[in-house]
Every structure is written in C-alpha cells, then in structure tokens.
Amino acid sequence: MAALLDRGHKLVLLGRPSGTQSLALRISELLHWFGLEHRSAQVETVETDFLKPCCGLTAKSYQALCSKRAVIIHCASNTRFSESCRQESNATNVDSLKEILGLARNAKAEHFHYISTAYASGIGSDLCPESPVESERFINVYEETKAQAEKEVAARCTRDTIPYTIISPSIVYGDSRSGRANRFNALYNHVKSLYFIREIYLNDIEKNDGKKSRDCGIHLDEEGILNIPLRVALSQHGYLNLIPVDYFVSVTLALLDRAENGSIFHVTSDAPKTVAELAVYCEIFLKMKGIQIVYGNDANAPAWNPPEALFNRFHEPYRHYLSDPRIFERTNTNRVTAGMMPPEFSYEVFQRCMEYAVSVNWGKDNG
C-alpha cells in the first residue's frame, strides 16, 4: 500500500473493521505509521464481508465498486497453523474467494494478483517449482488452504478470462535498511521467546540470589554473558528461508509492472540460513550462550530443563519451518526482475531489526 501510494496510485482498500475500530481508522493509523498522512486523499476504504453476497455491500455500493475496473491485489489471509483453526482458515482463505473472484469478474478486472506463500508447494519433494501445486501433503492447515486457494484462483480466472498471477513469498521479516516492522511474528516470535526466557533468569539472579538459575545450571559470567544450557529440538536438517519486507515490496512492484498471465513467482532467498547460524546471532544480540541445536528424538537424552521445555513448547507449531529442506525454484521471478535478489541476512541486518523490535516492546508501543 505504502509503495503504491508513493508511486501516485489511487487505491480502493477493501477489508473489515477490527473490533470497534473501523477500516478507515485502521488505514489512517497505518498511513501515520508510514508517514503518509499527506497521501490520504489517494485512499478510499470500503468495509466488506467476503463471506456475504456482493461482499456484504448494498447493490448500489457494489455496482459503484465494480465500475472502477481496477487491478486487484488480494493479500488477506488467515495465517494460523493450528488444526483447531481449520474452519476459520477455510472460510478466510478458500470460501471467501467465491465473492472476491466474483468481484473481479463483475468489475472486469484488468489483472488479479494473488498473494500466496511459497510453502503452498506442500511436501513430498524438496525442490519446489514455480508451477501449480501437485502435492496433496502439507505441514499444516495454512499451507493446505493456500494451495486450495491457488487452484481456485487459477481455475476461476481462466474460466472468466481474467489475467492472473500468483506471488508466493517465503517468511517475511522487517525492513532490512531501517529495521522497522509493524508485525512481529514468524522470526520475531522465536527471538522474543529467548529474550523473555533470558529476562526471567537475569531477574532471578538479580533479585533472588539465582536459586532458580542454579537449579538449571544457569549463571552470569564476569563479562555479563548469561550462560544458559538450552537445547533446541529439530526433527531434521534444513533452513529458514527469510526475505525482508523491502525486498518483497520491490519484487511485487516489478511483477505488477510486468505482469504475466498464469505465472507463479517465488519471492524467496537462494541463501537461506540454518538455525545454527541464527542461534549465533541470538547469542550475540542477547548476550547469552549455551544454545545447542539437536536433531531427531534421542530417547536416552536428559529430560528438558525448564528453559528448554518452555522454548520447545513455544516453537512446536513452527518447528518444521526452522529446518525446512524445501528449495524454491525462482526461474520466473529471476526473469521478470532481472535476477533481483534479497540482501544477505547478516548479523547487522538481524541486529537492526531486533533492536527496533525491542525499542517498541515487540509491537506493544509501535504507534
């Protein structure tokens, strides 16, 4: 949104209110966060419900929306992984497409861009081509519903002769140049959990003479480094495929400029990081050491100590993505973007992003 406004585009933003906060207020706050209040005249907001006929609008409002004949970018998703969220995920990621694609047809949309995920490729092969999903096996309900959505978009747009593209990023973090972010999930969740585990034991050492820490073999050394034995359990060797949001925006703008009908584009990294590499980043940033990556299930291994149990319980839903063997083909993306690649996820970039996250209390003070 911010990049398109900076280009001078006029946008119609469709979405829902959040609690008592209207869509218009939500967008106003985002414009303020981006420093784009002066672009507010370029924005029109329309509160919609994509599970209702005509997107929940009156006939008059729906016709007015259809008359705009615009390019449509669909980037709304339920990103939760839990099987308990299956009904809601299906509703948001699949069922809502009936009305969204109906709007594209009735509005004679110039192009339909669907923001998916590279992980909709599913599992079964470690090499994931930029082609329609063939796998019927997925890590979680999020991957599964996004794969179903890709098939629905392709089928409906082909039937209704609507040009379409599918843009599939991997795991997106903050701006690599400034460190700023307005969402603190994915990568941030793991660093945040280590941050608060560290705070628990530093507080114990400072205020309780370190009794709880000693029981876990944790101590603060003379250099102020917290030594904390913490095994991170992973099922297999693999990678964490990360891209910064500035790279995602740059690639997406290039794809909007040179749209290709029916193509899938992986917006991913060809140099993914291992968790072992990221553990070193975390130890330096958090002034701690003792993180150990362990693979597989060793029945004879010692029981988890309290910080290990806490961290491993937390990252269980995300465990596969910390060591994912999938490699994403980028032939289409490289062709259209002239080989544009993301910046290296160096320690300097990591530090910049995490310092910003801490400065806004992991999003709580991110006004």
Instruction: Provide the residue ranges of all domains of the chain, joining segments of one domain with +.
Output: 2-175+242-271+327-345, 187-237+274-325+349-363
Q: What pTM was estimated for this model as a whole?
A: 0.95
**What is residue 315's predicted lDDT score, i.e. its pLDDT?**
86
- Other beta carbons within 10 angstroms of residue 57's beta carbon come to 21
Enumerate residue ranges in the chain where pLDDT < 50.
Answer: none
pLDDT of residue 367: 66
Q: What is the pLDDT of residue 299?
A: 61
Instruction: Tell me the fold of 2-175+242-271+327-345.
Output: Rossmann fold (3.40.50)
- Locate the DSSP E strands across 48-143: 71-74, 111-115, 127-128
Which of 41-50 are b and which e, b meaning 16 or more Cβ less than 10 Å from the residue's Cβ?
A: ebbebbbbeb
Output DSSP code: residue 93. Answer: I
Separation of alpha carbons 187 and 174, rounded Å: 10
Q: Are 48 and 16 in contact (CB under 8 A)?
A: yes
Distance CA 307, CA 297 (A): 18
Measured distance CA(191)–CA(343) in Å, rounded: 20
Quote the longest CA-to-CA distance of the chain: 71
Q: CA-CA distance, 300 to 256, in Å (whole number)? A: 54
pLDDT, position 132: 95
- Using left for φ > 0, alpha for ψ between -120 and 50, and beta otherwise, residue 115 falls in beta
